Chains A and B, each alone.
Chain A
Amino acid sequence: MKIAVVIRHVPDLIEPLEVDSTGKAFDLSSAAFVLNESDDHALEQALLLKEKHGGSVTVLSIDFGDVDNSLYAAAAKGADQILKLLWDDPNRSPSPQQAARMYAEVLRSQGPDLVLVGVQAPDELDGVLSAELAVCLGWPYVGVVRGVQAADGQSLLVCKEFPGAVMAQYEVRLPAVLGILGAEQPPRYVPVSRIRAAMKSTQIAEQEAAVPAEAARVEVDQLYPPAPAERAEMLTGSPEQVANRIAALLEEKGLLR
């Protein structure tokens, strides 16, 4: 089975994000980037499928936010090919719609049986990319997937999670796109020495991607941090004072006996 995995680097939320001067975007000039968590799971799921059923794993990403590190880490974990899509502005991430078209173009020429994408990212909790990608490719799509098994050569058994811990099993004909929420196992640890070895032994394949013109269907009007509502009481003071205040509040509300 030929599996392609799309990964993204997203801003690391460990540092507070600042809105830039336009008021419509984040200032990412000093941000650090990390691999999107559900993409990490998509990669793990791909590796598990390959280990179980054979095949190959290609990992691809648009060149944004020092993604090289994660591509090398993917190679160290066992990806066969790592591919970076170059585009005109590596300081800006494309919109999910743009990204889907760019990935679709490359994937059409690659011809994988299965495409795995993290179902959400901090900047798109509604999971646009994976679904949009399926639309562009014209392939079947299941999102919020928590487990994938190969049924036979032509189809997969896929577990999709619904609220309330309800799981549904789908049979999906290949080729298909899956939006992964979690792999069957937590993503594996890859030691630094293996990543370093991969940097020496593996080349990142680069490919120019034509940036599709943005069909501006939706635009950001304004970005701003939420203002504390008036009913909120901010507790201040030493940890002890705060703890005492919390205990007092809980007692007050009748939550402590």
Chain B
Amino acid sequence: MPFARPLMWNVPPAAELILYLMIPVVLVLIVWGIVWRVRKWSIGQPEPGLGSLGGYVARLLRTGRLGEWIRTALFQGRLSRDPFALTMHLAIFWGMVVLFLGTAAATIDQDIAHLIFGWQILRGGLYQVFELALDLFGVVLLVGLALAGYRRVVQRPARLAAPSRPVSFWDSFPFLQLLALIAITGFLVEGLRLAQGFQLEALVRQTQTAQKDQGASPRPAQSPAEQIPLAKSSHSPTPSDQPTDKPIWRTRWEAMAGGHLHEEHQQAEMARIAGGGPVFPAAGWAPVGWLVGKLFQNASFEALQTWHRLLWWTHALLAFVFLIAIPWTKAFHLISSPVNLFLRASRPVGRLPVAAPAGVAQLRDFTWQQLMQIDSCTWCGRCQEVCPGHQCHFPLSPRDFVHAVDGLLLRTPVRRASSTEAEDNHGPAGTGSARASASAAGALASTAEQTGSAGRDGSATDAGAPGFPHSASQAAPAAKILPKLHGQTIPADVLWSCCTCRACEDICPVGIEHPRAIVDMRRHLVDQGQVDENLQEALMNLQRYGNSFGQSPRKRTEGLQKAGLPVKDARKEEVEFLWFLGDYAAYDPRVLEATQAMARLFSLAGVSVGFLMDKEQNAGNDVRRVGEEGLFEMLRDKNLQALATARFQAIVTTDPHSYNTLKNEYPYGGNGEAEGNGSPSDTAPTAQTKETSEEQSPLAGKPIFHAVELLDRWIAEGRLPIRRRLEDLTVTYHDPCYLGRYNGIYDPPRRVLAALGVRLLEMPRSRENSFCCGAGGGRIWMKDMPGIQVRPAEKRIHEALQLPGVQVLVVACPKDLVMFQDAVKTTGAEARLKIMDISQLVLQAVTPEENPPPT
């Protein structure tokens, strides 16, 4: 006959009732926690470009991003670069999910199916599978927790070291230990239950033997194992006692299982057990529980009963504690991370959303989505581990940045305090009033202080700064006065340390956009005039001349003209490609050779190339990321005006930074989804982009290429035939951040290098793991961070030098050329490693041996 899952073994109905009475309390605490979090986010601004939720979901389904969400949220695909962590996290997550679903199924089985309908779902084969699954995933969970313990206790990576300042009391919540205790008590409860079953089965057999002994057929003696006394002697009547009365097993069974089962089920179970059936028919399907049961089967029945009940309570209460802890601890990422990954913008990663030029002055100026992101951090520290700033001892750790902002968020009252914060913070943007400028001056003064005193760990270490009121003595008088976002929570140096290389954002398992938040905060510093003097000079030059070098706009094409290369004015004659030079390719003498090489390659490929001449302005990529939004808009608009007067089919640039902003941030048939970017195979204008308002954008339908994409194509098409293969050359390739991580162009340069015949060795950090040269986000314009010991570019040179026999570090970015040429000198590696642009190598390979190009 079919058997079913035993209900509430050894749990008196009163206990069950108490448990159920606790559930509303637990739910209230959970909901309270979630509301607490969500209300914190609600102090933020609306998120631009998100639209209605319904529209967002529809877009998500249409663009196939749902699969991506399942991969990243349910299967933690963003951890795939760290297989150890992925295994660990999948084990813990799915272990908990299955155990939770199992518990839910058991509840339905008992309190809906059985209690209301007098029938059970978990019966027969299904019940066996249920038992097996729960046992297996319990083990999976414990394995995951063991891996986590190994990493945290034995390996102890620096990134997991506790952040210097706790967000709250809940920070130190022993989360993994709690999960482990839940799993272990679960197995113990099951084992002790099964041990009781084993004892009852032995009793049944003894009763049967006794009955048979009384009757006729003699049986062989029981094995010694089955004769072990099952309980204390006083409570253990011999099998021969009162043979006609209820056998002892029956009394016990009823005491343990009765009260939960309907009468007819109880009778059926009794009959089954009396017939020698197992007390727990699925015991063998729960291998761990079975083993634990065997381990304890010789304990006294009373002890088993007491301990079982005690552990049952412990297990239940721990599970409740876990559930309550979810919204109140970093376990909240269980909810916030999937939501965050779900809402992750569909915009390209290279496009910063439109935002007010005045930026984020206080917490409330972030959008709610940014606050949610910050609030979903688990402090795993991967961002810190890959951050070039952190590795070079800049005062920045992306993890501590997020952590500090989150700490402030969780302390900030949802309702705007009428007193301190609003007044203390700088007034709204763009007032231009005396008050605003007064605060600007104060800000200027405080920059100077901060520059001197900002600490290594990105916190305000000087004793004067109030910092976090986390110690009691500080908290008492300053209970209501929150630290300011700028300065006290996030010193300016932390913000200026960022190279916007996106390594942190790219690796963040929960989808936090650190660079966006940092740029938003930088905007406020710029708005208050807090910029270092080198940066100020660059910005003034950009305002005046449209280039950071402070050179005459007329000299932009001078380097090409002086080399006798044809320089066509795309405003006067139509060209196939408009070459957007960018500042470094045009003005930096160290890059000129690479720029000239590229120009020669254009001629060799037989394409016509033109320029905006003196009307080209810096494209504004890094101006934007410095936080000078108004200047970015000015430069963009001037470029668009110039582009409107030119006739061309496509844009090409050698500068990944210009490439990124032209491709992603200039209006291309609207600021929406239309990319307007054909695949590299169609140069001809495509009509598909004229979707929205910006149809008259001079870029509408004009594809934009990085030069390396064209080189790749032309070599493959035979337009640039390779005349001598550079086979005795061993090179490595550095992925520029704005080409690779920002725009996913990893393969074209590698295909080009393969076609040249060079031996390509990959550095340990390549492709999406590439390590920034330290120039991005306007850092190339700024002074070195105080206290740095090694520059990012120097670190990268050391990395390249470790590859055996590498002669050339190949780059595809003018800024890289500058940074690495400097770094190769400062590291004294000039004789061992040459820095070359990929165009220079291509030019060598396509030029016949007899007349090598000047190198």
Contact A15 B554 (CB under 8 A): yes
Contact A189 B630 (CB under 8 A): no
Q: Which of B432, B441, B527 is in CB contact (< 8 Å) with A75?
A: B432
Residues from chain B with Cβ under 8 Å of A48 in the complex: 441
Q: Is A8 an interface residue (CB 8 A)?
A: no
Chain B 626-642 per-residue mask, 1 if CB under 8 angstroms from chain A, else 0:
00111101100000000
Q: Is A188 an interface residue (CB 8 A)?
A: yes
Contact B589 A14 (CB under 8 A): no
When chains A and B are docked, how far (Å) is the Cα of A192 from the Cα of B539?
Answer: 10
Contacts A34-B544, A51-B438, A78-B434 given: A193-B552 contact, CB under 8 Å?
A: no
* Minimum C-beta distance from B852 to chain A (A): 16
* Minimum C-beta distance from A239 to chain B (A): 7
The A-contacting residues of B in range 417-456, CB under 8 angstroms, are 429-432, 434, 436-438, 440-441, 444
Q: Give the nearest-CB partner of B436 in chain A.
A: A78
When chains A and B are docked, how far (Å) is the Cα of A51 from the Cα of B435?
Answer: 9
Q: Give the nearest-CB partner of A34 in chain B.
A: B544
Contact A194 B539 (CB under 8 A): no
Q: Is B540 an interface residue (CB 8 A)?
A: yes
Q: Give the nearest-CB partner of A185 in chain B.
A: B444
Q: Is A167 an interface residue (CB 8 A)?
A: no
Chain A 66-84 per-residue mask, 1 if CB under 8 angstroms from chain B, else 0:
0000000001111010000
Residues from chain A with Cβ under 8 Å of B707 in the complex: none
Residues from chain A with Cβ under 8 Å of B539 in the complex: 189
Describe B's contact surface by its main secondary structure.
helix
Contact A14 B634 (CB under 8 A): no
Contacts A188-B444, A189-B526, A191-B357 given: A14-B551 contact, CB under 8 Å?
A: yes
The B-contacting residues of A in range 122-136, CB under 8 angstroms, are none
* Minimum C-beta distance from B533 to chain A (A): 6
Q: Is A163 an interface residue (CB 8 A)?
A: no
Contacts A190-B529, A193-B430 given: A47-B544 contact, CB under 8 Å?
A: no
When chains A and B are docked, how far (Å) is the Cα of A34 from the Cα of B544?
Answer: 8
Q: Is A235 an interface residue (CB 8 A)?
A: no
Q: Is A198 an interface residue (CB 8 A)?
A: yes
Chain A 148-170 per-residue mask, 1 if CB under 8 angstroms from chain B, else 0:
00000000000000000000000
Interface pairs (14), CB distance under 8 Å: A14-B545, A15-B554, A47-B441, A51-B438, A78-B437, A80-B434, A188-B444, A190-B529, A191-B630, A192-B357, A192-B543, A193-B527, A193-B629, A197-B430
When chains A and B are docked, how far (Å) is the Cα of A193 from the Cα of B358?
Answer: 8
Residues from chain B with Cβ under 8 Å of A189 in the complex: 526, 529, 531, 536, 539-540
When chains A and B are docked, how far (Å) is the Cα of A188 from the Cα of B536?
Answer: 8
Number of A-B contacts (CB under 8 A): 77
Residues from chain B with Cβ under 8 Å of A75 in the complex: 432
When chains A and B are docked, how far (Å) is the Cα of A191 from the Cα of B552?
Answer: 22
Q: Is B466 an interface residue (CB 8 A)?
A: no
When chains A and B are docked, how far (Å) is the Cα of A154 from the Cα of B628?
Answer: 41
Contact A239 B589 (CB under 8 A): yes
Contact A188 B441 (CB under 8 A): yes
Chain B 534-551 per-residue mask, 1 if CB under 8 angstroms from chain A, else 0:
001001100111000011
Q: Which of B432, B526, B552, B631 is in CB contact (< 8 Å) with A202?
A: B432
Contact B545 A198 (CB under 8 A): no
When chains A and B are docked, how far (Å) is the Cα of A196 from the Cα of B431?
Answer: 11
Total interface residues on B, using CB and 8 Å? 35
* Minimum C-beta distance from A25 to chain B (A): 22
Residues from chain A with Cβ under 8 Å of B444 in the complex: 185, 188
Q: Is A186 an interface residue (CB 8 A)?
A: yes
Interface centre among A50, A76, A77, A190 (most CB of B within 10 A): A190
Could you list 11 further interchain pairs (A-B, Cβ under 8 angstroms) beyond the known A188-B440, A189-B529? A51-B438, A75-B432, A77-B440, A186-B533, A191-B357, A191-B527, A191-B631, A192-B357, A192-B630, A193-B527, A193-B629
Q: Is A178 an interface residue (CB 8 A)?
A: no
* Minimum C-beta distance from B563 to chain A (A): 11
In the complex, the 3 A-B pairs of residues with the closest C-beta atoms, listed nearest first: A78-B437, A193-B630, A192-B630
When chains A and B are docked, how far (Å) is the Cα of A78 from the Cα of B444?
Answer: 14
Contact B545 A195 (CB under 8 A): no
Contacts A14-B550, A15-B552, A34-B544 given: A192-B432 contact, CB under 8 Å?
A: no
Which residues of A come within 8 Å of B, CB atoms? 12, 14-15, 32, 34, 47-48, 50-51, 75-78, 80, 185-186, 188-198, 201-202, 239
Chain B 510-532 per-residue mask, 1 if CB under 8 angstroms from chain A, else 0:
00000000000000001101010
Which residues of B come within 8 Å of A, CB atoms? 357-358, 429-432, 434, 436-438, 440-441, 444, 526-527, 529, 531, 533, 536, 539-540, 543-545, 550-552, 554, 589, 628-631, 633-634
Residues from chain B with Cβ under 8 Å of A194 in the complex: 430, 432, 527, 630
Contact B441 A76 (CB under 8 A): no
Q: Give the nearest-CB partner of B358 in chain A.
A: A193
Contact B631 A192 (CB under 8 A): yes
Residues from chain B with Cβ under 8 Å of A50 in the complex: 434
Contact B437 A77 (CB under 8 A): yes
Residues from chain A with Cβ under 8 Å of B540 in the complex: 189
Q: Give the nearest-CB partner of B438 in chain A.
A: A51
Residues from chain A with Cβ under 8 Å of B629 in the complex: 191, 193
Residues from chain B with Cβ under 8 Å of A196 in the complex: 630
When chains A and B are docked, how far (Å) is the Cα of A196 from the Cα of B634?
Answer: 10
Interface centre among B429, B550, B551 (most CB of A within 10 A): B429
Contact A193 B536 (CB under 8 A): no
Q: Give the nearest-CB partner of A202 in chain B.
A: B432
* Minimum C-beta distance from B593 to chain A (A): 10
Q: Give the nearest-CB partner of B544 in chain A.
A: A34
Contact B551 A192 (CB under 8 A): no
When chains A and B are docked, how far (Å) is the Cα of A41 from the Cα of B536?
Answer: 15
* Minimum C-beta distance from B71 to chain A (A): 40
Residues from chain B with Cβ under 8 Å of A239 in the complex: 589
Residues from chain B with Cβ under 8 Å of A14 in the complex: 545, 550-552
Residues from chain A with Cβ under 8 Å of B436 in the complex: 78
* Minimum C-beta distance from A79 to chain B (A): 9
Residues from chain A with Cβ under 8 Å of B543 in the complex: 192
Residues from chain B with Cβ under 8 Å of A188 in the complex: 440-441, 444, 529
Contact B432 A76 (CB under 8 A): yes
When chains A and B are docked, how far (Å) is the Cα of A201 from the Cα of B526?
Answer: 20
Q: Give the nearest-CB partner of A14 in chain B.
A: B552
When chains A and B are docked, how far (Å) is the Cα of A15 from the Cα of B545?
Answer: 11
